[in-house]
Amino acid sequence: MMEIHKITSDNVDKLQDLYNEFKDSAKDYYNFDTTPLDFIQFKKGIIIGILKGFYATIEDKPAGFLFYVIEEHRSVEINIVHITEEFRGEDIEIDLLEEFLDEIKETPGWDVISYPMLGGQSAYVNKITHLGFKLVGQAIVRFHLDDIICPQIVTKLKLPELPEGYSISSWKPEYLEDVSNVIYESFHTAPDALFDPRFRTYEGCKKIVTMLVNSIMGDFLPDCTSVLIEGSKPVGVCFANLTNDQMGNIPLVGLLQSAQGKGLSIQLLKKTLEKFIHDVIEARLDCMEVNATVETDNFPALRMYRKVGFREDYNYPHAYMENENREQKG
């Protein structure tokens, strides 16, 4: 008989073996680029209330769990739904999600549920739509700095000169306000805004940019970040950071509408990759790759990344659900 339980400080120790099983399979089965929290950190998150979740038992044996975070920007992030291999295919993940939805729909203070269905979680993508989730396809693309071919593609790529009046600069703190507006104009109607409500407002975009440049979302690389300048005003950006010592990331590329359609995004991306390559050669960075996430339906962006040497690694569905009662719940 299966039962669903809320994870609490009183029962979290029962999940140690199950959690460590998830942690051991995070890279190969779930395609995690970074190592999850160890169990002690996970347990602490449950005790202080940052992490919340549910777990399933079959004949009192832990069979799977779901845990999530309610972010301050009014997004509920489902971090993982893990089912032990013995019980996969028995719809336990759907039972966990239904229990989660029953609780979260009665919880105030959120606008959207965000659930990146990485790795094996995509196996039940068709079932999750029946719960009311909608989907955005995401592609992970990678540029391999330790493969001579990718750097050669960038080196040999010939692009037109920048149009008159444009230049490219590295990041400067005084760019914050204008670049935040660039990100807002680029993303407030993009698929990212469907599952991250920060992109829907200028203030939210400024928070994202502030977090990026303060290394809250990875170690910020101001010298590798490329900013497009028209006259003296930033009109585009390609951010760069590190998710770990050997993995670079391009979290955002954006342009004001007035700068779009001129081939300037690829100029920014190429400049950032050239800086990554230079810093690796000079031993300032120890990166093995640079990665980025692109919507699978954004064909111009995918073509751009391919042109500079990125290759698609895998796709995954990003599920989301709007809070239909958010106005009443504030």
Rounded to an integer, what distance in angstroms lies between the CA atom of residue 159 and that of residue 185?
25
Statement: residue 248 has pLDDT above 90: yes
* Confidence band for 327, pLDDT divided at 50, 70 and 90: low
User: What does the pLDDT read at residue 325?
Assistant: 79
Long-range contacts of 309-312 (CB under 8 A, 24+ apart): 309/143, 309/149, 309/150, 309/151, 309/153, 309/154, 309/273, 310/141, 310/142, 310/143, 310/150, 311/141, 311/142, 311/143, 311/144, 312/139, 312/140, 312/141
Token digits of residue 144: 């391999």
**For residue range 92-146, what is the model confidence (pLDDT) as tens digits?**
999 999 999 999 999 999 999 999 999 999 999 999 999 999 999 999 999 999 9
Residues 78-94 have a mean pLDDT of: 95
Q: What is the DSSP string of 283-297?
A: TS---SEEEEEEETT
Q: 2-132 and 140-316: same fold?
A: yes
pTM of the entire predicted model: 0.94
What gap in Å lies between CA 222 and CA 46, rounded to an integer? 35
**Greatest Cα pair distance in the chain:** 71
Is residue 330 pLDDT above 50, yes or no? no
Classified as helix, coil or strand, 107 is coil
Phi, psi of 206 (to 5 degrees): -65, -35
Terminal CA-CA length for the chain: 39
User: Worst-scoring range by mean pLDDT, 33-37, 227-231, 276-280, 291-295?
Assistant: 33-37
**Domain 2-132 belongs to what topology?**
Aminopeptidase (3.40.630)
Q: pLDDT digit string (tens) for 159-214? A: 999 999 999 999 999 999 999 999 999 999 999 999 999 999 999 999 999 999 99
- Dump the DSSP string for 27-77: TTTT--SSPPPPHHHHHHHHHHTSSEEEEEEETTEEEEEEEEEE-TTSEEE
Options 3.40.50.720, 3.40.50.170, 3.40.630.30, 3.40.50.12780; CATH for 140-316 is 3.40.630.30
Sketch the domain layout of the chain as residue ranges: 2-132, 140-316
